[in-house]
Chain A
Amino acid sequence: MGHNHLPMPPSPSARTLVEKIWDDHVVAAEPGAPDILAVDLHLVHEVTSPQAFEGLRRRGLVVRHPERTVATADHSVPTTPRSLPILDALAAAQVAQLETNAREFGVPLHGLGDPSQGIVHVIGPQLGLTQPGMTIVCGDSHTSTHGAFGALAFGIGTSEVEMVLATQCLLQRRPRSYEVRVDGRLAPGVSAKDVILALLSKIGVGGGTGHVFEYRGSAIEALSMEQRMTICNMSIEGGARAGLIAPDETTFAYLAGRPHAPQGSDWDRAIERWRGLPTDDGAAFDRSVTIDAASLEPMVTYGTNPGMGLPISAAVPDPKSVGDPGRRRNLEGALAYMDLRPGQPILGQKVDVVFIGSCTNGRISDLRLAAAALEGRRIADGVRMMVVPGSDEVKREAEREGLHEVFRAAGAEWREAGCSMCIAMNGDQLEPGQYAVSTSNRNFEGRQGKGGRTFLASPLTAAASAVAGAIADPRNLPGIETLAAVGGR
């Protein structure tokens, strides 16, 4: 592994991981125009695709590569038992439209009832579709998740969905690079979610605009694939369309034997190619930031964007201490919406709802951690806790391991797979004024239901808070030293 921590003079021929992937996918580059970039894998869901398929019909175009495209229903689907109909007529029509479009244009679909249905960013990796060195797009900003495999993966709008359906290409300007170096060891009770929330609190929600993150360093290398996905998932919350991690033995071990991963001699050739992807020694980044993993605490947000995060032992900041008038107004507005007082400790803040799930933290290792923290305990009176697996496969695996029984015994709801209360368009939502600790990715005003108030946190912090009925420090959970090893993969 070419990880050389000594400073190297910049070398003109040395390239970053992103530059290598970009160079591999440039179809044409005309002066004055963006590059035409080939797309290896296009993920499609029901919310951002209907107008794109309609555009194809209007122009008389077909899907150029249905076999490089895959669809699922995740955003607007209920998480109630699948035997029940979709009660929301608009959502039902949207899911039906996806089924019609997939059939008409020949796109493989993992719809409701399919054993591979789930959140689009959970099923791609799970099926082995997400592979190192690829370009991957989806009409969803959390497409950055797939960067955990060393793929260049980013969210696009519906006009671009139509372009990729029609041509399997996009017009793109080469992004700038941003090194995020995380060295050292995470303390017990501190996880990938805390690393990314710490980065966001450091650089802000616009800090990465125009850039692609590359996460590097010993703390990143030590993470499992699912933890890496949690970090890359929230790159967009820092303004970066994509965030990548170089593929390594952990990546290859996760991929081996998955349904769509290369097999036999194809696998050997793929590994050989993938080993050439990591950033060369001496390659230059446009920007760089360093985080000391050992110094991190569990993180929780207090405001209305994911950059408004705190170490869990800290107090809510005071707008009076903010010099810039725009920033001060922003903070005042956020605290008013959240109904929090400057200087109050965030620990002990009351909680009404706890949500475990989403493309950020709805994978099997997340559920294992939450279940381990809840084993033999009950959630506090008056707290509603929802556990929503990221995919049907995650749900089956959790049930094989008996995790659902742990959740139910603790007083939590065990539901079907989907985006659920992360985006609150399927009926799973907060009431106005309610406080939630959520393992999802966005604490924007109304994101989890109009008037709802969100604290973003890790699965361990969420589970500890459910038991306490208030924001609680997972480092105080009994046996926390061994809990961190529970996740696996």
Chain B
Amino acid sequence: MPEPYATFTSRVVPLPAENVDTDQIVPARYLKITDKAGLADALFRDWRFEADGRPKDPPFVIDRPEMAGRQILLAGDNFGCGSSREHAPWALVAWGLRAVITTSCADIFRGNALKNGLLPIVIEPDRHRQLLELVERDGDVELTVDLALGVVHLPGDEDLPFDVDPFSRLMLLEGTDELGYLVAHDADIAAWEASHPARVDTRPAGPAA
């Protein structure tokens, strides 16, 4: 069960590349786990290390010493496209990230992120460009993410509003999850099933008599 999503202030990890796919976020060879252990090390693995295992020189952005502890990723358009692997948000969260600011997120990634306390913040391209310029001018700029108000506070009392699905916002703020909501609707599910016969039977013997 995730923690309630509280307002926080952090510096920014800039990664403005477009169409970053989930194979880059966690390469497939790290998907052979049966739990969620070790994923912070797998994060962006092939962008961080050479084929022989040496760290890249200069280091990939998340390995720069000043990036340690930062909780906001400033990403490019269509972040998280490709594979449905939930290992991608698991790894981003395991590294310490709590929000991804971008101009659009892939659908499956967005859903996976919201279920793991990682907030996708989608803003207009113009505002995204301004924010990127701000971070390029001052790498230590601090942003405050306030989910309850739906704004990112910028320095100088400027607010950047963003939209989040209201149901997802409620789930995040309360630290509850969708499975609990579904289980609480068991009576609705049972009633629907009573009036809708199964479409298929997966058992090898075929439909039971």
Interface residues of A (CB under 8 A from B): 27-28, 32-34, 36, 38, 40-41, 47-48, 50-51, 54-55, 59, 61, 65-70, 75-76, 88, 90-91, 93-94, 97, 108, 116, 129, 131, 133-134, 139-141, 155-160, 162-163, 166-171, 173, 205-206, 209-210, 236-237, 239, 241, 259-260, 305, 307, 326-327, 329-330, 333, 423-425, 432, 442, 444-447, 450-451
Complex A-B, nearest 6 residue pairs according to Cβ-Cβ distance, in ascending order:
A206-B78, A50-B34, A157-B86, A157-B112, A90-B32, A155-B84
Q: A48-B84, A134-B200 are in contact. Are A157 and B108 (CB under 8 A)?
A: yes
- CB of A79, distance to nearest CB on chain B (Å): 15
**CB pair B202 A108 closer than 8 Å:** yes
> Is B33 in contact with chain A by the CB < 8 A criterion?
yes
Q: Which of B63-71, B137-145, B148-156, B179-187 contacts A (4 or more CB under 8 A)?
A: B179-187
B35 contact set on A, CB distance < 8 A: 50-51, 54
Bound state CA distance, A234 and B51, in angstroms?
Answer: 30
**CB pair B16 A326 closer than 8 Å:** yes
**CB pair A209 B106 closer than 8 Å:** yes
Q: A54-B35, A171-B182 are in contact. Are A68 and B108 (CB under 8 A)?
A: no
Q: Which of B6-14, B17-25, B54-62 contacts A (4 or more CB under 8 A)?
A: B17-25
- CB of B186, distance to nearest CB on chain A (Å): 8
Q: A27-B192, A166-B179, A166-B183 are in contact. Are A68 and B24 (CB under 8 A)?
A: no
Sorting the interface of chain B by its residue count into under 10, 10 to 19, 20 to 34 or 35 or more gives 35 or more
**CB pair A209 B32 closer than 8 Å:** no
A32 contact set on B, CB distance < 8 A: 166-167
**CB pair A163 B86 closer than 8 Å:** no
**CB pair A432 B51 closer than 8 Å:** yes
23 contacts between A and B (CB under 8 A): A34-B167, A41-B200, A48-B84, A55-B179, A67-B198, A68-B198, A68-B202, A69-B202, A97-B34, A140-B84, A141-B108, A156-B111, A157-B86, A157-B112, A158-B86, A158-B112, A171-B181, A239-B107, A305-B21, A307-B19, A425-B31, A442-B23, A450-B46
> Is B189 in contact with chain A by the CB < 8 A criterion?
yes
A47 contact set on B, CB distance < 8 A: 31-32, 85
**CB pair B34 A163 closer than 8 Å:** no
Bound state CA distance, A93 and B167, in angstroms?
Answer: 37
Q: A157-B86, A444-B82 are in contact. Are A28 and B185 (CB under 8 A)?
A: yes
B203 contact set on A, CB distance < 8 A: 67, 108
Q: Other CB < 8 Å A-B pairs besides A129-B200, A444-B82, A445-B46, 6 of them?
A: A38-B189, A67-B202, A206-B77, A239-B107, A425-B29, A425-B31
**CB pair B189 A167 closer than 8 Å:** yes
**CB pair B192 A425 closer than 8 Å:** no
- CB of A25, distance to nearest CB on chain B (Å): 8
* CB-nearest residue of chain B to A260: B200
**CB pair A166 B27 closer than 8 Å:** no
B21 contact set on A, CB distance < 8 A: 305, 442, 444
Contacts across chains A and B counted by CB atoms under 8 Å: 209
- CB of A76, distance to nearest CB on chain B (Å): 6
Q: A76-B32, A446-B46 are in contact. Are A28 and B81 (CB under 8 A)?
A: no
- CB of A260, distance to nearest CB on chain B (Å): 6
- CB of B137, distance to nearest CB on chain A (Å): 17
B111 contact set on A, CB distance < 8 A: 156-157, 160
**CB pair B115 A157 closer than 8 Å:** yes
Q: A141-B84, A210-B107 are in contact. Are A445 and B32 (CB under 8 A)?
A: no
- CB of A116, distance to nearest CB on chain B (Å): 8
* CB-nearest residue of chain A to B198: A68
**CB pair A162 B179 closer than 8 Å:** yes
**CB pair A27 B185 closer than 8 Å:** yes
- CB of B82, distance to nearest CB on chain A (Å): 6
Bound state CA distance, A38 and B166, in angstroms?
Answer: 22
Bound state CA distance, A442 and B107, in angstroms?
Answer: 17
